[in-house]
Amino acid sequence: MIQVIHRAIDVLEILSKNYPNPLTLGEIHGELKLNRGTCANIIKTLVGRGFIKKIDRNTGYVLGEGLVKLMSHNHYQEKLVAIANRYLEILHKQFNESCILCVIQDDKRVVLASRESTHPLQVITPKIKKVYDATTGIVMLSMLSKEEQTAFATKYGFPSELELKNASNKEALFKQLDTIKSQGYFVQTTPTGFSGIAVPLHNKFINAALSIYLPDFRISEPLKKNIIHELKAVSKLILEELMQ
């Protein structure tokens, strides 16, 4: 087991030395004098975790965004919360509905910051929910690479029909995630009469989401479109400020 860890580190080190130039599987196992099958399995695992990425079949592999996220996660998450809190306050004043900022941790979506509606009837979402059972969770999942989505589904399974309709296998789930990523938002209505509207907040350092929750009787089509527009605008502003 320890030997495998050492070999995985060797793969990362050789890709680091050659970065940004890619290396093929043959070049990696030849340079490290590893068995080709063992090397291929290590690379497959590292790709699945996002630590390296495959350019194409002939070109080979380079370091992936997973390493950047690992090194930068805490710094950017703290900065993200500080910036997002100001914009959540703006969204709260504009719509007076519950607003949240979330990230993914394992198979859960976790609320980092929130503002609650002052209406007598309001939506109070749990601080921690399963990714498949949260509007923000589905949005964040849609922003992952296909390798990361596959690794997630392999580890945690597929959503139930109650969590996400018509997504009980890989093809169906990926089709929905592609649609969500393409449109840049996700709207989900619960059987209890509440809706969540979420947009991604994503770059190479952060995979987060913003959402507004409200009762269905207070939502109209013009309001829904306005919320989506404002959430997207705020997401863009937060990312721009985050990179300054």
Q: Any idea where the domains of the chain sit in the sequence?
A: 2-63, 68-242
What is the pLDDT at residue 69?
64
Q: pLDDT at position 124, please? A: 81
pLDDT of the residue at 1? 61
Query: What is the predicted pLDDT for the residue at 211?
Result: 97
Prediction pTM value: 0.73
Instruction: Determine if the peptide bond prior to 215 is cis (ω within 30°).
Output: no
Which of 4-42 are b and which e, b meaning 16 or more Cβ less than 10 Å from the residue's Cβ? eeebbebbbebbeebeeebbeeeebbeebebeeeebeeb
- The string of DSSP letters for 99-153 reads EEEEEEETTEEEEEEEE---SSS-----SEEEGGGSHHHHHHHHTS-HHHHHHHH
Tokens found for residue 32: 């490290």
pLDDT at 66 (0 to 100): 73
Contact 59, 12 (CB under 8 A): no
Specify the CATH class of 2-63 in words: mainly alpha
Distance between CA atoms of residues 38 and 110, nearest Å: 36
* pLDDT less than 50: residues of the chain: none
> What are the C-alpha distances in Å from 118 to residues 54, 199, 219?
49, 23, 16
Given the candidates 3.40.470.10, 3.40.50.970, 3.30.450.40, 3.40.50.1100, the CATH classification of the domain at 68-242 is 3.30.450.40
pLDDT for 114-169, tens place per residue? 999 999 888 888 899 999 999 999 999 999 988 889 989 999 999 998 899 889 89
- What is the token pair recorded at 199? 């947009």
pLDDT at 94: 96
Distance of CA 238 to the CA centre of its chain: 16
